[in-house]
């Protein structure tokens, strides 16, 4: 189990108070529990809580052996002081005072400034991976300015690897095809529920030796519980009725095989050889440990066969 857990990473948007406040103590308990469980991949971003997630993660990792974990952060949103926002909450989903505002910036200077500020918040001397964060509407600057700046930092040994993290697969495929990225972070587009990245992006990554870190494995909540609620979230919104129904059908097959929907969702992406790691998020220590427990053993092979038979997985979909 320990070796498998080294492929799981902790995503820290919940530790930036995504949707609801998390205390410093609760955030520290999540990181400590992840470490104790064998998790050694940690991902964060300035966007998460206007720097709060980076500060909390750095504080929790500062006394850990630096060569024993992989740390990634992201560039593309600079945090600019905004004293006028101190009396209101951030309007981008995080329960934090809006003392900073985000400014899109994929310029070379923006990349360097963003990384420097991230290191200051983390309190660490380096990060291992830097991703372009959600460059959906900024292709030209991200590809023409930010990516060459990251490649230069990689050549200088300032960072170990570079890539892009997005909720869509199409632009990620373009980055893989047209640049020298080492890794991509794919959120929500290769999950037990849906696999739109399977036909083109994942084979492309496999052929070019680009690692895939899968995120959003629960499709922002829909697959997080065996008993899928009517108001489950999908892609950060209330899930459509037909999508809830599909998740419940998958859950029923899981139950027949003595496993759960979350466990199957956690294991599923590792069936593809291009997927080298996966991120999980947790708001509390209990959530973190529940995810780790769900990952304790792979679901029985018969589960995947039954999902195919019921039309819930395409015939050619690779499984663990």
318/14 Cα distance (integer angstroms):
30
- Distance in angstroms (rounded) separating the CA atoms of residues 79 and 133: 13
Of 118, 210, 223, nearest to 165 (Cα)?
Answer: 210
Catalytic residue list:
48
Distance (Å, whole) CA 218 – CA 265: 7
CB 181 within 8 A of CB 210: yes
DSSP symbols for 5-56 = HTTEEEE-TGGGTBSS---HHHHHHHHHHHHHHT--EEE--TTTTTTHHHHH
Closest by alpha carbon to 216, among 3, 51, 34, 9?
9
């Amino acid at each position: 189990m320990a070796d498998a857990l080294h492929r799981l990473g902790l995503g820290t948007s919940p530790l930036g108070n995504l949707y609801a406040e998390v205390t410093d103590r609760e955030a520290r308990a999540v990181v400590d529990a992840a470490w104790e469980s064998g998790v050694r991949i940690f991902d964060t971003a300035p966007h998460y809580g206007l720097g709060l997630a980076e500060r909390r993660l750095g504080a929790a990792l500062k006394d850990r052996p630096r060569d024993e974990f992989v740390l990634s952060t992201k560039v593309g949103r600079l945090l600019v002081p905004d004293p006028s926002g101190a009396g209101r909450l951030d309007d981008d989903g995080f329960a934090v005072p809006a003392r900073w505002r985000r400014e899109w910036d994929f310029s070379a200077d923006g990349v360097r400034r963003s990384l420097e500020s991230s290191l200051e918040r983390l309190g660490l001397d380096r990060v291992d991976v830097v991703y372009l964060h959600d460059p959906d509407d900024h292709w030209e600057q991200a590809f023409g300015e930010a990516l060459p700046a990251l490649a230069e930092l990689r050549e200088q040994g300032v960072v170990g690897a570079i890539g892009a993290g997005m909720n869509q697969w199409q632009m990620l495929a373009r980055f893989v095809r047209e640049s020298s990225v080492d890794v991509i972070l794919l959120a929500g587009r290769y999950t037990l529920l849906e696999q739109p990245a399977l036909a083109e992006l994942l084979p492309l990554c496999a052929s070019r030796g680009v690692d895939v870190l899968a995120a959003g494995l629960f499709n922002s909540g829909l697959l997080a519980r065996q008993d899928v609620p009517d108001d489950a979230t999908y892609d950060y919104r209330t899930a459509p009725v037909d999508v809830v129904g599909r998740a419940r059908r998958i859950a029923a097959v899981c139950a027949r095989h003595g496993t759960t929907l979350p466990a199957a969702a956690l294991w599923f992406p590792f069936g593809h050889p291009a997927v080298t790691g996966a991120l999980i998020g947790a708001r509390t220590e209990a959530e973190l440990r529940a995810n780790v427990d769900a990952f304790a053993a792979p679901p029985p092979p018969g589960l995947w066969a039954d999902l195919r038979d019921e039309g819930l997985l395409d015939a050619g979909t690779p499984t663990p």
